Amino acid sequence: MPHLTYDKEITGLVVIDPYNDFISEGGKLWNRLKGVAEANQCIPHMLQVLEAARHADIRVFYALHHRYRPGDYETWKYIAPIQKAAWSNKTFEYGTWGGEIRREFEPRPGDIVALEHWGSSGFANTDLDLQLKRHGIHQLIVTGLIAHTCVEATVRYAAELGYQLTMVTDATADYSETEMHAALEVNIPNYATAMVTTKQIVASISELRTDSIRRRG
């Protein structure tokens, strides 16, 4: 792993799809994710990274999947399989518990919630790139769900746009170890500058707060 330093003025944490349907007991997709998510402690790790970022005054950005509403897809001429599945299952349905962000991950004042993405990339047809640039962000730390679709697509798109990327490998999950391996061992390393654990990223960004306290003192 290359040694990366982070500057809170240009660094943002991107949290992808922390919906109840994904990461809460009773969520529509939780049983598919549960085995992998519990094995790598994805949810507590996501929370640790989020809390560390907040303590270090790193701005938090949310990249959220489109929440299903009746009539969304009925008139579409072309629909991708992933969108067809969302339509069939009414995944992240607007106005329901499953379509809400899990309580511990709810945005706070000052956080940026980008427009919802219709496919997998948090950048495609949203304002995420605009919001990051308007806030002077060049370095991205990425956590969230799921590894081989929304996370991978967002990381790929970010690299195309010129961002420096850090992927937190145990703060994501997938439907199977095979899909996790494909995302984290084969694909995402082609685009992320660093692949790190929660322990590593928390240590790195915690240094920012320590340095800031020293300067004020």
pLDDT tens for the chain, residues 1 to 217: 456 789 999 999 999 999 999 999 999 999 999 999 999 999 999 999 999 999 999 999 999 999 999 999 999 999 999 999 999 999 999 999 999 999 999 999 999 999 999 999 999 999 999 999 999 999 999 999 999 999 999 999 999 999 999 999 999 999 999 999 999 999 999 999 999 999 999 999 988 764 544 444 4
- Does pTM surpass 0.75? yes
72 closest CA partner among 94, 57, 54, 97: 94
At residue 49, the 3 state secondary structure works out as helix
113 closest CA partner among 65, 167, 68: 65
Q: What is the pLDDT of residue 214?
A: 46
Q: What is the pLDDT of residue 2?
A: 55
Strand partners, 165: 140
Q: Is the peptide bond before 23 cis (omega within 30 degrees of 0)?
A: no
**Which two structure tokens, joined as six digits, stand for 2?**
């290359």
Q: What is the pLDDT of residue 208?
A: 79
List the end-to-end C-alpha distance of the chain, in Å, as a whole number. 32
Has domain 11-216 been given CATH number 3.40.50.261? no
